[in-house]
């Protein structure tokens, strides 16, 4: 494209800059009061010289000037279309004005050589040059003024935790129905692209705890929608230090009045932002007067990753958290007898350790640690009706992998079909139950021959490691 510019500029130089002394008759014909150019400067382009030899009259001079104007306009027309084509191809706005450059070029030639008639220069070129320059400066000043006004009225930039995010789900019918058995409210809040935060409400005192509040503004909106007083927030529970779970800690604290009235809880081995209470495995504390929280340390995804098992104080005192033998049977943790239906289940907030049909990546740990987490710290000690609230909406992809691992597992295929239907309805898939996870989650079934055959391993640690590698590369 640039070769055309070179051709056109060469032609202009040839037509406008190739000076030739005019014929005496031509000089006599143009040396008038309206064109008082001396004989030594009466020169014009070769092109127009040949035209003017045959036009000695006033009419000829007018035609010649019109021809010059026509040539200039034609040149502008060519430059305009070349610029448009260049803009379309590059899909960006050119910062150089070829028109302004052209007029400045002609003005420079006239200033140095007195090539053009004064009438042409003052009537055509100079007004256009001045117009282009004035227009350019006016536009620039206008843009600068608009930018300054916008900067003055713009709101301050959002903090990192206020990042604009896509709402990946808007309906929580399943969550509300499944959570009814808890006897206390758990409200999921969709944050970022596929994260979940949770609001936990103590039925006795009305105290509120929030889990992994990555976007405090969204939690604040949900609290207002549900008619809840945000000043009742007493705890912020953070499962691990990754930004998509902990970036809103400072923002959550700043929302409360007076500040410092909230306890930010995080694992002692994790660098959780704004943490005020570091906990370890086996620690317990209360939310208000009605909810008991037990801490389960599950190192692997991060070194200090913790789970929060929340239950009613009465249920916890009566052994309502229960235990599981790993075969799906629910037993009372004190007596070993079957747990009575009247004892409410617990809610387990698993962050990025346990998902519906899957587990978290081994970022800061090894397979043996995840195996211990799944069997020794989750599946065995907890009741089968424990509700699992995970930190991400990964259900469909995890269950597709579960079906791939065990094609004949009806529980996995049924749950996968259900999860796909939930996705179509824009519905949250949380929570699941521990009994359900035991029936289809491959990372809780590494002791089974089907998974050992799939991985070609027999040791459970090796099976866990092989399954995680398969899932990392599963499309």
pLDDT tens, residue by residue, 133-153: 444 445 555 655 665 555 444
Q: In angstroms, what CA-CA distances link 218 with 55, 163, 166, 292?
A: 82, 11, 12, 26
DSSP one-letter string for 68-134: HHHHHHHHHHHHHHHHHHHHHHHTS--SS-HHHHHHHHHHHHHHHH--S-HHHIIIIIHHHHHHHHH
pLDDT value at position 84?
A: 60
pLDDT value at position 105?
A: 57
How sure is the predictor about 172, in pLDDT bands with cuts at 50, 70 and 90? Answer: confident
How far from chain centre, in Å, is Cα 180? 34
How sure is the predictor about 176, in pLDDT bands with cuts at 50, 70 and 90? Answer: confident
> 433-460 as b/e, with b when 16 or more CB fall inside 10 Å?
bbbbbbbbbbbbbbeeeebbebbebeeb
Q: Which of 240, 241, 297, 416 is catalytic?
A: 240
Q: Which of 241, 242, 297, 305 is catalytic?
A: 242
Task: Identify the residue with better confidence: 266 or 160.
Answer: 266
For 228, which DSSP code? -
> Known catalytic residue: 465?
no
- For residue 462, pLDDT beyond 70: yes
**Please, what CATH class does the domain formed by 173-472 belong to?**
alpha beta
pLDDT value at position 102?
A: 59
> Known catalytic residue: 297?
no
- For residue 330, pLDDT beyond 60: no
- Specify the 3-state DSSP secondary structure of 158: coil
Q: Residue 303's closest CA among 273, 266, 339?
A: 266
pTM, entire model: 0.63
Q: Which long-range contacts (CB under 8 A, 24 or more apart) does 458-461 make?
A: 460/371, 461/367, 461/368, 461/371
Element (H, E) at 310: strand 306-312
Give the domain ranges of the chain: 2-153, 173-472
- Specify the 3-state DSSP secondary structure of 184: coil
Q: Which of 202, 212, 244, 270 is catalytic?
A: 244
> Known catalytic residue: 270?
no
List phi, psi (to 5°) of 145. -65, -45
Q: Which of 110, 235, 392, 416 is catalytic?
A: 392
> Known catalytic residue: 122?
no
- Specify the 3-state DSSP secondary structure of 464: helix
> Known catalytic residue: 242?
yes
Cβ count near 381 (within 10 Å): 17
- For residue 51, pLDDT beyond 70: no
CA distance 468 to 471: 5
Please name the residues in contact with 450: beta carbons below 8 A apart, sequence gap of 6 or more: 405, 406, 408, 409
How sure is the predictor about 325, in pLDDT bands with cuts at 50, 70 and 90? Answer: very low
CB 18 within 8 A of CB 45: yes
pLDDT value at position 239?
A: 97
What is the signed CA dihedral for 228, 293, 387, 211, rounded to 10 degrees? 50
Q: Which of 202, 352, 385, 465 is catalytic?
A: 352
> Known catalytic residue: 301?
yes
pLDDT in tens, 359-389: 999 999 999 999 999 999 999 999 999 999 9
What's the rounded mean pLDDT across residues 38-51?
Answer: 41
- For residue 322, pLDDT beyond 80: no
CA distance 295 to 307: 6
Q: Strand 284-287 and strand 291-297: pairing?
A: antiparallel
pLDDT value at position 204?
A: 93
Q: Which of 46-50, 94-98, 117-121, 147-151 has the lowest average pLDDT?
A: 46-50
How sure is the predictor about 18, in pLDDT bands with cuts at 50, 70 and 90? Answer: very low
- For residue 309, pLDDT beyond 60: yes
- Specify the 3-state DSSP secondary structure of 59: helix
Q: Which of 241, 297, 301, 305 is catalytic?
A: 301
Q: Which of 110, 174, 235, 245 is catalytic?
A: 245
- For residue 164, pLDDT beyond 60: no
> Known catalytic residue: 332?
no
């Amino acid at each position: 494209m640039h070769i055309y510019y070179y051709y056109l500029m060469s032609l202009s130089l040839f037509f406008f800059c190739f000076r030739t002394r005019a014929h005496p008759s031509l000089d006599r014909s143009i040396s008038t009061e309206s064109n008082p150019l001396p004989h030594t400067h009466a020169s014009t382009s070769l092109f127009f010289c040949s035209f003017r030899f045959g036009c000695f009259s006033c009419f000829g001079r007018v035609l010649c000037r019109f021809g010059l104007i026509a040539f200039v306009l034609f040149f502008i027309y060519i430059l305009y279309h070349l610029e448009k084509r260049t803009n379309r191809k590059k899909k960006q706005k050119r910062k150089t004005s070829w028109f302004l450059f052209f007029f400045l070029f002609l003005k420079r030639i006239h200033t140095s050589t007195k090539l053009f008639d004064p009438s042409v220069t003052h009537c055509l070129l100079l007004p256009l040059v001045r117009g282009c320059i004035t227009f350019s400066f006016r536009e620039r000043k206008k843009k600068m003024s608009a930018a300054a006004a916008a900067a003055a009225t713009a709101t301050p930039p959002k903090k990192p935790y206020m990042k604009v995010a896509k709402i990946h789900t808007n309906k929580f019918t399943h969550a509300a129905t499944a959570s009814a058995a808890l006897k206390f409210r758990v409200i999921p809040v969709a944050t970022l692209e596929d994260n979940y935060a949770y609001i936990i409400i103590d039925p006795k005192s009305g105290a509120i705890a929030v889990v992994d509040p990555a976007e405090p503004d969204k939690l604040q909106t949900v609290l207002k929608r549900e008619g809840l007083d945000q000043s009742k927030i007493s705890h912020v529970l953070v499962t691990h230090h990754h930004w998509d779970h902990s970036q809103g800690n400072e923002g959550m604290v700043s929302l409360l009045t007076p500040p410092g009235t909230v306890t930010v809880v995080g694992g002692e081995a994790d660098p959780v932002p704004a943490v005020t209470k570091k906990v370890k495995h086996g620690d317990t504390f209360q939310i208000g007067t009605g909810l008991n929280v037990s801490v389960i340390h599950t190192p692997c995804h991060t070194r200090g990753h913790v789970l929060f098992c929340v239950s009613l104080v009465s249920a916890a005192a009566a052994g309502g958290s229960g235990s599981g033998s790993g075969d799906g049977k629910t037993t009372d943790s004190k007596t070993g007898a079957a747990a009575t239906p009247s004892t409410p289940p617990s809610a387990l907030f698993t962050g990025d350790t346990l998902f519906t049909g899957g587990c978290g990546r081994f970022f800061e740990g090894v397979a043996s640690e995840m195996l211990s987490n799944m069997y020794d710290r989750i599946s065995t000690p907890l009741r089968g009706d424990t509700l699992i609230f995970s930190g991400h909406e990964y259900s469909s992809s995890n269950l597709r992998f579960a079906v791939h691992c065990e094609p004949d597992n009806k529980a996995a295929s049924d749950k996968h079909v259900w999860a796909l239907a939930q996705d179509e309805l824009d519905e949250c898939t949380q929570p699941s139950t521990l009994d359900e996870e035991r029936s289809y989650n491959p990372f809780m079934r590494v002791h089974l021959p089907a998974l050992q055959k799939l991985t070609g391993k027999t040791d459970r640690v090796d099976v866990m490691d092989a399954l995680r590698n398969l899932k990392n590369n599963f499309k």
